[in-house]
Amino acid sequence: MIVEAVNRAPQRWSGRDDGPGPEHLRWHHVVGAEGTADIAFLGFRSDEGVRRNKGRPGAADGPRAIREALASMALPAPVAAADAGDVEVTDGALESGQERLGRAVTGLLDDGRFVVVFGGGHEIAYGSYLGIAESARVRSGAKLGVLNLDAHFDLRADETPSSGTPFRQMADRERQRGEGVHYAVLGISQPSNTKALFDTADELGVDYLLDDHCGPANLVVVDEFVDRFLAGCDVVYLTIDLDVLPAAVAPGVSAPAAYGVPLETIQHVCERVAASGKLALCDVAELNPGLDIDNRTARTAARLVHRIATTQRTHR
């Protein structure tokens, strides 16, 4: 199933090498055979959703840049990881790409992996959701929660799916199944979301926290928000849109943030979710290497993946 869904084979990971032994381990040393892995990396090479949303294309190169930035990061302890390759969207076929991503994610989850998907535009979110929604654990009754770290709700009602519609698509699909989506967003920028989007969020029962309330001085509020979300679900899908971060930290995105949530807060939230024992799937979206400066955005994305994966492994 995974082979059928993935159409670009993984590249060999390489990076700095200071010598043998666990004291010198870096990510590129531990990405190996899938059969022995606890963690699976998967790429989603797409910026079709960004193009449809009238953004700046280039996010299809994000998976490569994140892998390269992560490869030489030093590990605090041995882990077993595998690269499952890339799902690539070509000829504008976003919907079939999302379906293929979903099948690949489902297969990896059902094999017992913790899955990290590298994007790609935030249209990645609907494909990731399809994957976890069809996983054996959720289909058996586990309550799914979707936590989005993002400046935008991405709840647009549009007949043409894009990077601005994935969470509305999730809500519509759950409604058709007679369910509601447990969706929360941290980092919402008021100037970047119309009143119609706030109204839609309220109608759907979306819990959200504005970027104004996410600074280091507000960590009690942030923790209460995250803990309230975690209490409402059994299994978590965490999706990180890098445009939630300040433009100085993440310039390489389609829509850089004029304000943004400090990296300290985003990392804190990621670690808190990973330490909950409920995190099954994570993706990172909107890295556009062609717009990046000194690989700042790629390195930040890789650091977040690093902290999530190492924390989650400890608390599985």
Query: How far is residue 253's CA from residue 32's CA, in Å, rounded to a whole number?
Result: 30
Half-sphere exposure of 66 (CA within 13 A, CB side): 32
**Would the annotation count 86 as a binding residue?**
no
Helices 296-314 and 263-274 meet at what angle, rounded to 10? 30
Query: What is the spatial order of strands in the sheet that 114-119 belongs to?
Result: 31-32, 81-88, 39-45, 114-119, 279-285, 235-241, 144-149, 182-188, 207-210
**Would the annotation count 38 as a binding residue?**
no
**180 phi and psi angles, rounded to 5 deg:** -120, 150
Report strand pairing: 114-119 vs 31-32. Answer: unpaired
Using alpha carbons, select from 50, 63, 36 the residue that is nearest to residue 255.
50
Using alpha carbons, select from 70, 170, 68, 180 the residue that is nearest to residue 122.
170
DSSP element (H, E) containing 221: helix 219-231
**Would the annotation count 122 as a binding residue?**
yes
Query: How far is residue 237's CA from residue 283's CA, in Å, rounded to a whole number?
Result: 8
**Would the annotation count 154 as a binding residue?**
yes
Query: How far is residue 309's CA from residue 33's CA, in Å, rounded to a whole number?
Result: 17
Query: How far is residue 105's CA from residue 94's CA, in Å, rounded to a whole number?
Result: 16
Q: Look at phi and psi of residue 26 and say left if phi exceeds 0, alpha if psi is from -120 to 50, else beta.
A: beta
Query: How far is residue 298's CA from residue 138's CA, in Å, rounded to a whole number?
Result: 32
**Would the annotation count 211 as a binding residue?**
no
DSSP element (H, E) containing 101: helix 94-110
| Structure tokens belonging to residue 212 | 């104004």
**Would the annotation count 241 as a binding residue?**
yes
Residue ranges of the annotated binding site for Mn(2+) are: 122, 150, 152, 154, 241, 243
Annotated binding site: 122, 150, 152, 154, 241, 243
